[in-house]
Amino acid sequence: MESKRSKRNRDFLGYYLPKNPFSIAITSIFAALTCVLTMLISIPVPATGGYINIGDVGVMLTALIFGPVIGSLAGGIGSALADIFLGYPIWAPATFIVKGLEGLIVGLIANPRKVRTYFNFYDIIAVIIGGLTMVFGYFIVEVFIFNFGIAAALVELPGNLFQSIIGAIISISFIVVLRIVIKISNPQVFDLIFIPIEIDELGSS
């Protein structure tokens, strides 16, 4: 039986770290999806030099399906790349942290490895809190890191709030279908993403 120390070295709360080719490929695919969604609609905000987008759909969906590890990495990397490609490179480091944190929180709250149904109440809580994390994360960055001032940060706040609401609504609307499709088309996919609860409990006993 695998030791607890060995298990901790390869997973985070039951979610495998991206060390196998499959999880790396999934992270890359959903980072690209997040990047494309972010670039699809970009509305500049002159007061802060940032922009409003729908990239949170990708961040939230990824975390709802695959959990906090892939959700945070794909969300942070994909969103930061979009900043660079769209000509906002100064925002990329902050975006990597804020969107990565958003994906982490959504994944932790939704905790898909424990989901035995295709939808549950925690999915809604996850996208709400994750969205608010993004909104206030950028607010803090704009006020305390970039020193734009509270007035300028408040100009972008409603747009970021709207962005988070759109992300939450669309991701919740698609999560059931995506979970069903993945489960039917490739029922073993999650075995490479996280440790099933039953096996985890057996290993810790």
pLDDT tens digits, the chain, 205 residues: what are they?
444 444 555 789 999 998 889 999 999 999 999 999 999 999 999 999 999 999 999 999 999 999 999 999 999 999 999 999 999 999 999 999 999 999 999 999 999 988 777 889 999 999 999 999 999 999 999 999 999 999 999 999 999 999 999 999 999 999 999 988 988 888 788 888 988 775 565 455 4
Q: Where are the domains of the chain?
A: 19-194
Length of the chain equals 205
CATH assignment of 19-194?
1.10.1760.20
- Listed as own residue / partner, the contacts of 5-12 with beta carbons closer than 8 Å and 24 or more positions apart are 7/195, 7/203, 11/194, 11/195, 12/68, 12/69
**Sequence-ordered strand ranges (E) for the chain:** 11-12, 15-16, 43-45, 50-52
